[in-house]
Amino acid sequence: MFAKWPLLTTLRGYDRDQAGRDMLAAVLVCLMLVPQALAYAQLAGLPAVTGFYASMLPLLVYALIGGSPGVALSFGPVAVLSLMTAAALAPLAEPGTAAYLVAATSLTLMVGILLLAMGILRLGFIANFLSHPVISGFVSGAAILIAASQFKYLLGVSVSGLTLLDVLPALYRQLPEIHLPTLVLSAVSLGLLLVLRNLQWFGLKKSLVQRVRQFAALILMMLAMGFGAFLKLEQQGVVVVGQVVTGLPGFSLPSLDPGLLRELLPAAVLIALVGFVESISIAQSLAMRKRQSIDPDLEVVGQGAANIASAFSGGMPVAASFSRSGLALQQNVATPLVGAFAAALMLAAVLGLAPMLEHLPQAVLAVTIVVSVVGLIDIASLRRTWRYSRQEGAAQLATILGVLLHGMETGILLGVGLSLVLFLWRTSRPHMAVVGQVPGTEHFRNVERYEVVESSTVLSVRVDESLYFPNARYLEERIGALVSTRPQIRHLVLMCSGVNQIDASAVDALDAISGRLLSAGIQLHLAEVKGPVMDRLQRSDFLQNFGGQVFVSQYKALCTLDPLFAESAIHHHYG
Amino acid sequence: MFAKWPLLTTLRGYDRDQAGRDMLAAVLVCLMLVPQALAYAQLAGLPAVTGFYASMLPLLVYALIGGSPGVALSFGPVAVLSLMTAAALAPLAEPGTAAYLVAATSLTLMVGILLLAMGILRLGFIANFLSHPVISGFVSGAAILIAASQFKYLLGVSVSGLTLLDVLPALYRQLPEIHLPTLVLSAVSLGLLLVLRNLQWFGLKKSLVQRVRQFAALILMMLAMGFGAFLKLEQQGVVVVGQVVTGLPGFSLPSLDPGLLRELLPAAVLIALVGFVESISIAQSLAMRKRQSIDPDLEVVGQGAANIASAFSGGMPVAASFSRSGLALQQNVATPLVGAFAAALMLAAVLGLAPMLEHLPQAVLAVTIVVSVVGLIDIASLRRTWRYSRQEGAAQLATILGVLLHGMETGILLGVGLSLVLFLWRTSRPHMAVVGQVPGTEHFRNVERYEVVESSTVLSVRVDESLYFPNARYLEERIGALVSTRPQIRHLVLMCSGVNQIDASAVDALDAISGRLLSAGIQLHLAEVKGPVMDRLQRSDFLQNFGGQVFVSQYKALCTLDPLFAESAIHHHYG
């Protein structure tokens, strides 16, 4: 694995031009990272400084171990994982307490270890069981929850709860308690942010519009800190981020209490999987643009190491961020050293910004969070999935509703479970077609869809599914029904081009079918059996006992079993 | 459903010949049923008379509603369900108590209602998820457990427990307490039974050997009752079946306590499924011999009604019995009225035998049980499955071990779960093959298995699996790897004959693959896409966007995309 370690190749011949490119990219990303680090720490219920910590050491570690410098650049705290962290810790401790911090570092450590194990044991395939509709539904649901969780800051009220069923009624009850100065501040900030993100309304230059849009959150934050200090907002009762620990990050130790670790395990597994899927997708799309390929195992090891680093420097699960990857993609990054520059810049930011954060209202951070996650709510995806497949649309909807109404773990388990059950259900009642020859070819297609030629004595049946226990009995029934309406047939050829597996139950079923057909004077044959399936069939007694033949193609079967058909086929072919 | 009610057609023109045949079959079956009714009641921990009850009303009800008279004939108490009943009731009440009886009737009622619901809602397919290896493993495991549970009667000791881990150590601890007269009786009975079942050892006529074998248990039982009364075995401390309620069955009422019903539900579901699978298999094999077809929904309704009848007449879950179906198969049964005759005979048996049962030792019943279930232990099946597929063999072994070491529900859930997980695992890493044209045909096969012709600019790849979320990323990786080693190709044709479904995640993957290939100067095409898959693809934007074509066959694709190949193909064809 470490033969591919990218840093070694990098350091040989690192020049000024490369250093300049890396530095510029690092500066731009940090400008975006600073407000997000603060905002996501708030979302996770952790002190503001934790967000900075999670953007330093992990970013550095990932850059030095991981594969793609571009991914490293977008590494750090992300919105969805921060919400998942808050959800995992809420039942265990009160935000702001020491117990909460210990639980957070423990959770992050577990996430890191799980990812490391996934990489070493090559278990990354587990993430493949999160289908696109389920991931999309999960992200949409989480984005709605995130936005909902920030309303208390926007309104200056106190509300707890992690599902819509908890948050919405609590917000409604708190309506009379709304803190007017905070509400006004939120409204002004929101308006300002929307203007900053949409300068094209004022006919400004496109490149300027785009750049301001990327750093709109930072601009708003700086303005809010300035006006906050000037207007002494905290004296109006507006809640501010408050005193931040300055200087180097204090390294905290995770707890090793088995009870705590057991309680955190399900959330840690989910955070690891979601973080992995998000990071690997970003890595893949970055690699695609650059015509490179990624090593998923190396990526996941880097991601695990980064989370372990985060656990020992504050404790917030980290991953590659979709929002920062957009910026990272545009940068002409030269080497993984970009991560070291970014980490150094974040350290400078902590030292420089800390005194100012005292005046930053939480409501302003909430505004930046709400605006950024609204873009993650993807209703179009739900509509697209539903149009493509009702079943998959239902799984996506179940994921969203599960997340919103019962929590993120429920949502994702519901989605994955439903997707698998529906797949198994579809395979248990496979599509079957009577097929005939497409005239002039050796190709056989469904008689109901194509103008095809059929033999009068040989029935050709195509089964469009692997034959395995859930559909073995169904196969028996369907073939019985097909045969019963065709008294004149003498041979039945099962076209196995769609049969990718035949399990032991299905071999028994084929045996039973062949026996039943024989008793009705019909011989069963197989055609187009694939190599791996044939290898397996040869380990059973079926091929010796069933009395029929296995043909290389359906065409060959028909030519052999029905001489009249063969003649007419040749006529078609050469005619 | 009731248009097919078989009794209506039966009663029109029922004649003496038919009545004679039905009566003879009923007599023979009852001779086999009497000792089993007693033995399985003992196995279930229920009073001996319950076994008789379960052989009367249920048999009659099934015969009048169900489809196959042959199945009706083998209907009644069965060994595996009796053990499952004992296992379900053991945690709730002590055998012999009133609470135990109430729980038994409640369980049986639930089984009946579940089966009725399965029939009406057409949920019989659920039973298809019990694969043959799992059922076989379950029956083998249960048979071993049954035999183990009877050792306490053979040795005259007192042992409780329902898994081997409980029973074996308990038996070992009880070794010093063995009751010698009981042990001697067991040994003598066992020897006698083995002799009676194997009269061929003495060179007797084959037909006689077979008949005595079928009724060996009855003969042993009659002898034991005679000698038991003569030798006053109960005074030697040998435990006897004891006083049996004589006369008509006393109808007992099931409990409707929701707590009890909730506790019994998992066992009831399992008993219903296992009973259904056993009964439907017997019905199918009977129908096959007679070239008839069965109506599974009618069978399951009949089975549900029979269990409800059993609940209200003593309470022991009932199903068709494999052991009695062998006898039933040999009989030339005329009509479902055979069930009515059998029920009447069992009533006579209760009235006639009751006074004699007082002297029947439990050890003798245990001997008949052990000898009959030993035949159900099918190690050859495990070996056969293992040879066919290691994975399925593992699932079968897991089922057996689960049943033996942790209980029947664990075993069956483990087996079904493992079977499904292994199936999903296999589909997540599908077999893929580069294919070429079999010379002289339009057929394409794996280049590694066949002597085939390949195009130099068109790569033909066959994927042997439905494309869905667990394998979507794998597909991307594999195609990337295949293309990277072939710089000269311009087109990649995905042969979709084995692709039975394409889900939304896979469409996204195809989109990504097509984009990546395009950037490498390669156009993706599809061939042999099946009708239902094509219908679905047309609901996405993929076909408009990917830029390639969908060919009716791989051959057509090659002829279109590589004119040189087309020429050489025609050369082969006509050469």
Q: How confident is the model at residue B295 (pLDDT cuts 50, 70, 90)?
A: confident
Question: Among all residues of chain B, which has the CA nearest to that of A542?
Answer: B388
pLDDT of residue B246: 47
Pick the closest to residue B146 from B333, B323, B359 (CA basis).
Answer: B323
- Checking if the pLDDT of B134 tops 70, the result is yes
pLDDT of residue A499: 95
Question: Among all residues of chain B, which has the CA nearest to that of A540?
Answer: B388
Confirm if B279 and B71 have CB atoms less than 8 A apart: yes
How high is the mean pLDDT of chain A?
Answer: 85
Question: Among all residues of chain B, which has the CA nearest to that of A281?
Answer: B473
The two beta strands, B458-463 and B432-437, are: antiparallel
Q: Where are the alpha helices (DSSP H) in B429-484?
A: 469-484
CB proximity under 8 Å: B 399-438 to A:
419-420, 423-424, 426-431, 433, 438
Confirm if B406 and B145 have CB atoms less than 8 A apart: no
pLDDT of residue B329: 67
Span A180-217, pLDDT tens digits: 999 999 999 999 999 999 888 888 888 888 888 888 88
Residues A490 and A94: their CA atoms lie apart, in Å, by 76
- Checking if the pLDDT of B320 tops 50, the result is yes
Confirm if A86 and A42 have CB atoms less than 8 A apart: no
The answer to whether ipTM exceeds 0.85 is no
3-state SS assignment for residue A456: coil
pLDDT of residue B60: 84
State the average pLDDT over residues B186-211.
89
Q: B2-6, B119-123, B189-193, B552-556: which has the minimum mean pLDDT?
A: B2-6
Helix axis angle, A98-120 to A79-89, nearest 10°: 120
pLDDT of residue B298: 79
Buried-exposed string B1-21: b where 16+ CB fall within 10 A, e elsewhere: eeeeebeeebeeeeeeebeeb
pLDDT of residue A3: 46
Global pTM value: 0.84
Q: How confident is the model at residue B353 (pLDDT cuts 50, 70, 90)?
A: confident
State the average pLDDT over residues A119-146.
88
CA distance A310 to chain B (A): 29
Q: Do B505 and A132 touch (CB under 8 A)?
A: yes
Q: Is B511 on the interface with A (CB under 8 A)?
A: no
pLDDT of residue A575: 36
pLDDT of residue A227: 86
Residues of B in contact with A499 (CB under 8 A): 498
Residues B394 and B378: their CA atoms lie apart, in Å, by 15
Cα B254 from chain centroid?
28
CA distance B298 to chain A (A): 15
pLDDT of residue A544: 93
Q: Do A508 and B132 touch (CB under 8 A)?
A: yes
Q: Do A291 and B520 touch (CB under 8 A)?
A: yes
CB proximity under 8 Å: B 80-139 to A:
125, 128-134
Span A37-85, pLDDT tens digits: 888 988 898 888 888 888 888 888 887 876 666 677 788 899 899 999 9
pLDDT of residue B540: 93
Residues of A in contact with B519 (CB under 8 A): 288, 291
Span A469-496, pLDDT tens digits: 999 888 988 898 888 888 889 999 999 9
CB proximity under 8 Å: B 30-89 to A:
none
**Distant-in-sequence, close-in-space partners of B465: CB < 8 Å, separation ≥ 6:** A466, A500, B427, B430, B431, B471, B498, B499
Question: What percent of chain B shows pLDDT beyond 70?
Answer: 90
The two beta strands, B458-463 and A432-437, are: unpaired
Q: Kindly state the DSSP code that residue B251 receives in the 8-state scheme.
A: P
- Checking if the pLDDT of A528 tops 60, the result is yes
- Checking if the pLDDT of B216 tops 80, the result is yes
Q: Is B560 on the interface with A (CB under 8 A)?
A: no
pLDDT of residue B247: 45
Amino acid identity of residue B75, one-letter, is: F
Span A281-309, pLDDT tens digits: 777 766 666 656 667 777 888 899 999 99
